[in-house]
Every structure is written in structure tokens, then in C-alpha cells.
A = this chain, B = another copy of it.
Amino acid sequence: MKLPGHVASVVTDARLVEERRGQILRAAVKLFSDNGYYTTTISQIAREAGVSTGLIYQYFGDKDDILFLSLKLVLETYEKEIPPRLEGVKHPVERLCMALWAYCTIVDRLREATVLAYRSTKSLRADRRALVKEDESRTNRLLQACVRACIAGGYMHPVNEYLLVYQYVAFCHAWALKHWALRARFNLGKYVAEGIGLLVEPLLTAKGRTALAAMRRRTADFTREAKPPARSRRARRSSAH
């Protein structure tokens, strides 16, 4: 009786399991993202990860296990990387905007992997699909807290916050899903800035708009820049704080 979330490993040394799985999953995410789940073979993953095919079966029960942990890896990235980006941001409106901005930059970095999540979640065994969806829901709750704080603070008109969050998520994911169309018209900064204009600003109260305007004055940078390489952006961001 296997638990759906459990992935068995023949190897017992926990540190080694951690390390090898990471090594294999990085290869898998890359290949799945580029070529899809079904067209990626175990031996391609092995080659990309620099191990033998046999070794993979020491750390994963079957191919579905690899997909499962690959998707978790991606979804957990969202969940883990957004909160630190909100640290020190106090104002609810600013937190909401920063959350969207953070989410979008992560999507941008994991663009192919985000598409993968849409393509391949249904390829998972059904019981595990639910687990992956929970991961996604947890990320949504991060946004939901931001929205709620805006409304609670009187910065945003009361709205169906649940639906709004889904719209925000759709907005962030669209950067990956519709990148083929959007990239012709936007860079990432412009995309987020315009998105805020469309999905945040119209919902704000007068008080909220004032806050947004203030924030814009301070962080004008990311709305104008051409999309820079990931590395320099990360560097700039840390120096800015």
C-alpha cells in the first residue's frame, strides 16, 4: 500500500539520496521542459545527469516518480522563492505588487518548466496529481494573503478575493504560456507594470492608489528596463535592498 506522496529509494543513506535525486531531477526538469515527458527517455535523463540508467532506479521507483518529484521541485520553487522577496516590504499594496513581480520573475526563469507543469500534470498518476495541486494552492495562498491585507487595510475595494487570486496566477503563468505572443510586445518589467495597471490599480480605493503611485515613484526601475539577463537582475535587486 504505497502512499501517493512517497517515493521509495533503494539507497538508504539520506544525504546521498538527497544529492543524487537533485542531480537526476535537474536533468529531468530540463529534458521534460524541452521535450516533454513522454518523449524524454530514462536513458536521456541518465546521460544528462551523468549517471547510468540503472542508478536512476536506485533512487526512483519508476518514471512517474521522476515526473512527480520534478513537478514538485518546480512548484515548490514558487512557494519558497516568493516569501523572501516580500521580506521587509510592509505596505499591503506594495506587498501585493512585489508578490506579482516576484512570481513573474520566477516564472520567467522557469519558463519552460512552468509550461511543463501545464503539459504534464495530467500525465501523473491521479493520486499524485492532487498533491501537486496542493502545492499550487499553497502558492496561491501567499497571493491571497496579500490581497486580503489590501482589502482589510481599505486599499482595495472588496472583491471576490479567491477569484482574483486565480486571475493573478493566470496572469503570471501567462508570461510562460503565451510567451510566444507576449514577447513581441513586452519585456518582463513592462508586462508586470501593465498587468498591475490592469488587474490591481482599477480595484484599488483612492487610498490604495496613492500608495501605488508612491511605490511606483520609488521602484520605477523595473517598469522601464529592457529585460536583462537573470544574473544581473538578481545582482541589482540585492544591491538595491
Contacts and interface: CB of A to CB of B under 8 A. Distances in A.
Residue among A120, A123, A191, A198 with max Cβ neighbours from chain B (10 Å): A198
Contacts of A157: 202
Interface string A152-176: 0000010110111011001101100
Given A162-B185, A203-B202, A177 B123 contact: no
B164 A167 contact: no
Copies, count: 4
Nearest to A161: B198
Interface of A: 36-39, 115, 118-120, 122-123, 133, 137, 157, 159-160, 162-164, 166-167, 170-171, 173-174, 177-178, 180-182, 185-186, 191, 194-195, 197-199, 202-203
B137 A194 contact: no
Contacts of A36: 38, 122-123
Contacts of A202: 157, 202-203
Contacts of A170: 167, 170-171, 173-174, 178
